[in-house]
Chain A
């Protein structure tokens, strides 16, 4: 007997992600799902962003890693609340993990929640966690062929931060090619060229983010 079904395999996760989203919206939070390969600079970007914004923005961070609490410790040293999720092997965070982690926060005075996903350019793009938008980092040491190799992540992201531009003289990587190929996949992508090491380009990112947070508050 054949039975027609037609059900989205990720429906359970999508449902939980939507519940998270509703909860975040009720509380006037801007939520970013931050993704990249391992070592592209997600935690470094968070440290810089926290330093720049924490005086006037309430920030919370969820750290996703397969193992260890090092990232949450780095963030906690910056004086903002951080909750570590250890996936124990899973290559991505899902709605359920974020729902549980969010319970740990006192989110009354929070404006911005950044979820640092597990370092991986493939899997996290497929799972919603309840974010307003996805942001990704590509570091120039990874090479300029990544947009065409991992199109889904570039398509799903609203923001692309190209990190480690201070290393451009030492690597064969063309910023123009990264930008051109990314924009073919996602013409609406906002691109920032940054170095978390030297601080170059970060002001523009902070400015853009502040604007987002402000607009967010107006909506809610």
Chain B
């Protein structure tokens, strides 16, 4: 369970961004969570709720978009969705695959007052 450290890093970023625009309350936070990140959304929600209690972030909605795992084949230069964590190109069977999405763990938007 490392969602607590993730939640702490997340609210650090949110707090910084709120300060930048002089915001008083936080309404919501939107995150991108890659399919291949070791984060359990429910656990993260729970940790977020616990550590924001009594702060300017209390009650904010946490929205998480799960980003599918996609790869780029260096052999045939095609992009494709990686299914069942098989890192081989469905077109040319090449195995030199770069992950282009699905490892995300990012704050993408906040809504504040």
Contact = CB atoms under 8 A, between A and B. Distances in A.
B71 to A, nearest CB: 11
Chain B CB within 10 A, most for which of A2, A5, A184: A5
Interface of A: 1-13, 90-92, 94, 122-123, 125-127, 148, 151-152, 155, 184-188
Question: How would you classify the secondary structure of chain A's contact residues: helix, strand, loop or mixed?
Answer: mixed
A7 B13 contact: yes
Given A9-B6, A13-B9, A123 B109 contact: no
Interface in B92-113: 95-97, 105-113
Contact of B111 (A1, A10, A188): A1
Nearest to A8: B106
A9 B36 contact: no
Contacts of A125: 38
B88 A1 contact: no
Nearest to B34: A152
Contacts of A185: 85-87
A27 B87 CA distance: 35
B51 to A, nearest CB: 14
A10 B2 contact: no
Contacts of A4: 108-109
B107 A3 contact: no
B36 A90 contact: no
A123 B1 contact: yes
Given A6-B106, A9-B31, A155-B36, A126 B9 contact: no
A170 B70 CA distance: 40
A3 B112 contact: yes
B91 interface: no
A215 B39 CA distance: 36
A152 B85 CA distance: 9
